[in-house]
A and B are shown apart, each in its own frame.
Chain A
Amino acid sequence: MQLLARRDATLALIIAALVAAIVWRAPVFASAGNLDTVLNDGAILTIMALAQMHALVTRGVDLSVGAVMALSGMLAALLSRAHPELPALLAMGVAAGSGLLLGAANGALIAGLAMPPIVVTLGTMSVYRGLVFVISGGAWVNAHELGAGFLRFPHERLLGLTWLTWIGVLVVAVCYLSLHHRRAGRELYALGGNPAAARYLGIDVARRELGVYSITGALAGLCGYLWVARYAVAYTETALGFEMQTIAACVIGGVSIRGGRGGVVGCLLGATFLVVLFNALPVIDVSPFWQMAISGATILVAVALNARGERRRSPSGRAGRTSIARGAPTAAAGAKAT
């Protein structure tokens, strides 16, 4: 935990340095309008990165979050098109509720049939994306077809910040409390850190997994509505590939893809870093073609640093590394603890 905190501090400093450098090159980045964009983009990525972290911490992954966002967002949009007078909160509830069901279906397959999360969610990713075509007939739902309240809600302001930003803040707070200060959260770390040992603690693994994927689904549904309302369009490719960004934010934030490690603060910082980077690159005139390569390279650097940190901490790390470097089988066996 101490090391995690130190890592968070380092990442915060890097983000601060990055922002300073960007503002120095392009002062427009610090304008109120641009910061608002950063916060609004950041809210959605942060919420989804936190959702993804739930899955990663338990040694799983949810690849279907982008598709759930598209499907739930489309459901909410179709509802709004049919009944433009309905309040935005109802549309949001429908989106989150449908996401919850889609996520619970993932969870049921993973926990009930003991299938690997990566396989299940890879499958449902296609199924859910396909369902967007089915329910929309492949057509877009455009701004003028959506209810005014539906579109306005995320942009309305409270104390100077948009509701979109406030929802992000709320999700961060709830995740922080539930993951770090409640039994259920602690048990997710135990489950991901050592699944075999978790059984001996009486942790109901199936129930926890069902819960995790229900949460990722519900948050994806919520973000589906937010996304559609923010960009004022629902179509079959909404949030296509977004699941990769959520994983990237987690990894940059120090969440281990091998489970059991990672925190809400780090995850928030990881998402912030990515959003700052994505928003800054066009501002400082980096070609869009380079943007993906640069964000990819960042992820590799973060993973390399994580791996180094983890190795340095374990006493057996030294022997382990020697044997891997030499690649000889006897050495690997020799790495057995003294």
Chain B
Amino acid sequence: MSPAALSSPAALSLTGIEKRFGGVQALAGVALEIRAGQVLALLGENGAGKSTAVKIMTGVHRPDAGQVRIAGEVAELASPEVARQRGVAAVYQDALSFDDLSVAENLFMGHLITRRSGWAPRRGGWLDWKAMRSRAAAVLQSLEAEIDLDTPLGALSVAQKHRVSIARALTHDARVLILDEPTAALSSREVDDLFRIVRRLAAGGTALLFISHKLDEVFSIADRYTVFRDGRHVVDGLIAEADEASLVRAMVGRAITQVFPKATVEIGAPLLEVRELGNDVEFDGVSFTLNRGEVLGFYGLVGAGRTELMEALFGLTRPTRGEAAIDGRAIGRSPGESIEHGLVLVPEDRQRNGAFAALSIRENVALPSLRRLGRGPFLDEQAEERLARQVVERLAIKHASLSQSLSELSGGNQQKVVIGKWLATDPRVVILDEPTQGIDVGAKAAVHTFIGELVARGVGVILVSSELQEVMGVADRIAVMREGRLVRLIDRPDFDAKVIAASALGAGHESTALGAARGEAALGAGAPHPTEKEDAASRAS
């Protein structure tokens, strides 16, 4: 980050951009500047207008007012095609991919290189695989990605797919690269690799826009920041001069004094007991006890077997050995039985695994409780209605009517319905799998408050999270999983970011683990010093 880089011209800028969708003002005059050779972090809560701004920069939407400038000139980005030709490319969290096509085909889909042939003189239909392959090889090499061009994309890991998405942007000479929540599905080591690539691209003169809800990542990768709130530009500046508290304040418009409010609840008698549970493949020898009113955090890297363990507990899969019981009654034979015994699992991908888009709000809420709500052989719609009304009021779900289909609600409200339907079953043990992934600061605080309410009622909560700060903030005890084993159970007084991160990574990585460094820095009081963190990051890589 040289002084020259800081004053470099804007590769892409927005000024006074406005955009309405029907009655909703998505953007009400936003501005930002992405400069060549720098990483700009775009911050804001869900609904602040980040994605709409990205869509305007990539030509998906046209602004109602305001200007997009590319390298100083006013640009009319009439379509994604035009945006791409002008060198703007975006890599999304759920990267666009054609799983059954090869890596090479994915790289060039939409801008295939074609050539003339002797008997078909018009340029058009004939694919020039030779040109595409050599270009692809060169780009992948520049990203240090050793990926066979002929592998079907579906066979790659999430991190590799990401690499392909970035490579895809580079194959058409992107000068402005937008990374929208690129780290959500990556383990901390994969994040390190991604950041190394980002730094290299920046050093090569690419202008980068980085969107993430994880502030520690923003501090470790960005040079500058811009904050949006409610479709307006709030503030921008240098990351080196910012601190976490001021950024959060700018994003939510109020000071959040304690990011993770810990409810103090008396911990009661043992509720859920798990003994030596294993399934031969994903996890083994897992034993723990969950008590009434307790939040037990499960921390580990992606792939440590946490989700698989929870699915087995809930009865979605069969463990091959060990046992689990609530109040001495065995569970884990089927989800239906688990629900009857008071165990519910709120899955990680709530949209995919929880939302019934075509059904009404009432029907969605009532689904897990139908057994209880029945009146003889028939359903009791009045009882369903009452239950749905309670949930909707308690979680402040914005809706027109309870018989509205779920698909008519906004994404955030849909999520609330999905969580609400599980609460409506009056559970005794709630497993929350990554409940705050990809949601904004305000919604996150709401989830944590809600965990507090659950334990206050004597419910036992298992919180699976890949965010160390969150687990440390909310849990009474932390179970650390690594490679399918529960390697450590730590009580709240002994919480130590370094120890927990090191346990999750395994011995041997402890001194160099960026995960530990990031966790520690994020937990440090006040402003983490960016340069120190960058040093830690570069040491780790």
Chain A residues engaging chain B, CB cutoff 8 angstroms: 1-3, 177, 181-183, 186-187, 189-190, 193-194, 196-197, 199-204, 256, 260-261, 313-315, 318-319, 322-323, 326, 328-338
Task: Tell whether, in the assembled complex, residue A177 and residue B378 are in contact, meaning their CB atoms are under 8 Å apart.
Answer: yes
B254 within 8 A of A: no
Number of chain B residues whose Cβ lies closer than 8 Å to a Cβ of chain A: 68
Given contacts A183-B371, A200-B353, A331-B60, contact A326 B378 (CB under 8 A): no
Give the CA-CA distance A335 to B405 in the complex, in Å: 21
Residues of chain B contacted by A203 (CB below 8 angstroms): 336
Q: Would you give the shortest CB distance from A261 to chain B, in whole angstroms? A: 5
Q: B280 contacts the other chain (Cβ, under 8 Å)?
A: no
A-B contact pairs, 22 of them (CB 8 A): A3-B405, A182-B378, A186-B367, A190-B356, A190-B367, A197-B352, A201-B336, A201-B368, A260-B356, A261-B358, A314-B357, A315-B408, A315-B410, A322-B60, A323-B80, A326-B79, A328-B79, A329-B80, A330-B83, A331-B60, A336-B51, A336-B93
- Bound-state CA distance A190–B110 (Å) is 36
Best-surrounded residue of A1, A194, A261, A338 (most CB of chain B within 10 A)? A338
- The interface residues of chain A lying within 8 Å CB-to-CB of B90 are 330, 333-334
- A334 and B352 contact, CB distance less than 8 A: no
Instruction: Assess the A334–B80 pair: CB atoms within 8 A.
Output: yes
- Chain A's closest residue to B78 (CB) is A326
Q: Is B403 an interface residue (CB 8 A)?
A: yes
B392 within 8 A of A: no
**Interface contact B89-A200, CB-CB below 8 Å:** no
Grouping DSSP codes into helix (H, G, I), strand (E, B) and loop, the A interface class, with mixed when no group exceeds half, is helix
Instruction: Report chain A residues within 8 Å CB of B154.
Output: none
Q: Decide if B334 touches A204 in the complex (CB within 8 Å).
A: yes
> Which residue of chain A is the closest to B363 with respect to CB atoms?
A186
Of A199, A332, A333, A337, most B-chain CB atoms within 10 Å: A333
Across the A-B interface, give the 10 residue pairs with the lowest CB-CB distance, nearest first. Answer: A202-B336, A202-B335, A333-B96, A334-B60, A338-B51, A329-B110, A328-B80, A330-B80, A260-B358, A331-B80
CB distance from B421 to the nearest CB of A (A): 9
| A181 and chain B: residue at smallest CB distance | B378
Contacts of A186 in B (CB 8 A): 363, 366-367, 370, 379
* B359 adjacent to chain A (CB < 8 Å): yes
Give the distance in Å from the alpha carbon of A171 to the alpha carbon of B373 in the complex: 26
Are A196 and B95 in contact (CB-based, < 8 A)? no
CA distance A3 to B21 in the complex (A): 23
User: Which of B51, B374, B403 makes the CB contact (< 8 A) with A1?
Assistant: B403
B65 at the interface (CB under 8 A from A): no
Given contacts A202-B339, A322-B61, A330-B83, 6 further A-B contacts (CB under 8 A): A187-B370, A256-B358, A260-B356, A338-B26, A338-B47, A338-B50
CB distance from A121 to the nearest CB of B (A): 23
B80 touches A193 (CB 8 A): no
Asked if B352 contacts A189 (CB within 8 A), the reply is no
Most chain-B Cβ atoms within 10 A of its Cβ — which of A197, A200, A203?
Answer: A200
Q: Which of B26, B60, B96, B363: most chain A CB closer than 10 A?
A: B60
Are B58 and A334 closer than 8 Å at their CB atoms? yes
Q: How far is the CA of A337 from the CA of B358 in the complex (A)?
A: 18
The answer to whether A323 touches B60, judged by C-beta atoms less than 8 angstroms apart, is yes
The contact of A313 among B83, B355, B405, by CB within 8 Å, is: B405
Give chain A residues whose Cβ lies under 8 Å from the Cβ of B332: none
Enumerate chain B residues within 8 angstroms of A2, measured Cβ to Cβ. Answer: 401, 403-404
B347 at the interface (CB under 8 A from A): yes
Contacting pair A338 B316 (CB below 8 A): no
User: A197, A199, A314, A326: which contacts B80 (Cβ < 8 A)?
Assistant: A326
**Which chain B residue shows the least CB distance to A196?**
B353
B309 to chain A, nearest CB (A): 16
Is there contact, CB below 8 Å, between B79 and A197? no
Would you give the shortest CB distance from B288 to chain A, in whole angstroms?
Answer: 22
B110:A200 contact, CB within 8 angstroms: no
Of A2, A202, A260, A314, which is in contact with the most chain B CB atoms at under 10 Å from its CB? A202
Docked complex Cα distance between A187 and B93 (Å):
32
B354 CB, min distance to chain A CBs, angstroms: 5
On whether the beta carbons of B355 and A194 are closer than 8 Å, the reply is yes
Residue of A nearest to B52 (CB): A338
CA distance A127 to B89 in the complex (A): 53
Interface residues of B (CB under 8 A from A): 21, 26, 46-47, 49-52, 54-55, 58-61, 79-81, 83-84, 89-90, 92-96, 109-110, 180, 314-316, 334-339, 345, 347, 352-360, 363, 366-368, 370-371, 374, 377-379, 401, 403-405, 407-411
A332 near B96: Cβ-Cβ < 8 Å: yes
By beta carbon, the residue of chain B nearest A337 is: B411
User: Closest residue to A199 on the B side, CB-wise?
Assistant: B316
Q: Please indicate the chain B residues that have their CB under 8 angstroms from the CB of A196 in the complex.
A: 352-353
In the complex formed, the residue of A with least CB distance to B375 is A181
Q: Say whether A189 contacts B370, CB under 8 Å.
A: no
In this complex, what residue of A is CB-closest to B110? A329
Complex Cα gap A1–B357 (Å): 12
- Known interface pairs A3-B405, A319-B60, A338-B47. Does A197 touch B356 (Cβ–Cβ under 8 Å)? yes
CB distance from A204 to the nearest CB of B (A): 7
Is B58 touching A330 in the complex (CB atoms < 8 A)? Answer: yes
Q: Which residues of A contact B378 (CB under 8 A)?
A: 177, 181-182
Contacts of A256 in B (CB 8 A): 358
Knowing A182-B378, A319-B60, A336-B51, the reply to whether A202 touches B337 (Cβ < 8 A) is: yes
Report if A197-B60 is in contact (Cβ < 8 Å); known contacts: A177-B378, A330-B110, A338-B52. no
Point out the residues of chain B lying under 8 angstroms from A326, CB to CB. 79-81
Q: Which of A2, A187, A329, A337 has the most chain B CB within a 10 Å cutoff?
A: A329
**What's the least CB distance linking A79 to chain B, in Å?**
34
**Within 8 Å CB of A193, what residues of B?**
356-359
| Contact status B93-A197, CB under 8 Å | no
Tell me the bound Cα distance from A301 to B21 in angstroms. 29
Nearest B residue (CB) for A261: B358
A190 to B359, CA, bound (A): 8
CA gap between A80 and B378 in the complex, in Å:
39
- Contact between B345 and A329 (Cβ–Cβ < 8 Å)? no
Q: A256-B358, A328-B79, A328-B80 are in contact. Are A336 and B353 (CB under 8 A)?
A: no
Smallest CB separation, B209 vs chain A (Å): 14
What chain B residues lie within 8 Å of A328 (beta carbons)?
79-81, 84, 110
Contacts of B358 in A (CB 8 A): 189, 193, 256, 260-261
B408 near A1 with CB under 8 A, answer no
Q: How far is the CA of A82 from the CA of B80 in the complex (A)?
A: 72
Q: For the complex, what is the distance from the CA of A330 to the CA of B52, rounded to whole Å?
A: 14
Q: How far does the alpha carbon of A255 sit from the alpha carbon of B240 in the complex, in Å?
A: 58
> Given A183-B379, A314-B407, A338-B52, A329 and B96 touching (CB < 8 A)?
yes
Which residues of A sit under 8 angstroms from B336, Cβ to Cβ?
Answer: 201-204
Specify which of B46, B59, B409 lies most central, judged by the most chain A CB atoms within 10 Å of its CB.
B59
Docked pose: A186 CA to B404 CA in angstroms: 16
Inter-chain contact A329/B109, CB cutoff 8 Å: yes
Q: Tell whether, in the assembled complex, residue B359 and residue A260 are in contact, meaning their CB atoms are under 8 Å apart.
A: yes
Contact B408 A197 (CB under 8 A): no
Which residue of the partner chain A has the closest CB to B56?
A: A334
Shortest Cβ distance from A124 into chain B, in angstroms?
A: 28
Query: Are A194 and B357 in touch, CB under 8 angstroms?
Result: yes
A261 to B405, CA, bound (A): 11
Residues of chain A contacted by B79 (CB below 8 angstroms):
326, 328, 331
Within the complex, which residue of B338, B356, B401 is in contact with A194, where a contact is CB–CB below 8 Å? B356
Bound together, the chains give a CA A183 to CA B314 distance in angstroms of 22
Q: Which of the listed residues B358, B363, B407 has the most CB atoms from chain A within 10 Å of its own CB?
A: B358
Q: How far is the CA of A330 from the CA of B61 in the complex (A)?
A: 12
A181 to B314, CA, bound (A): 28
B356 touches A202 (CB 8 A): no
Q: Which chain A residues border B109 with CB–CB below 8 Å?
A: 329
C-alpha gap A337/B54 in the complex (Å)? 12
- Measured CB to CB, the nearest residue on chain A to B346 is A200
Contact yes or no, B379 A181, CB < 8 A: yes
> In the complex, what distance in Å separates the CA atom of A331 from the CA atom of B80?
6
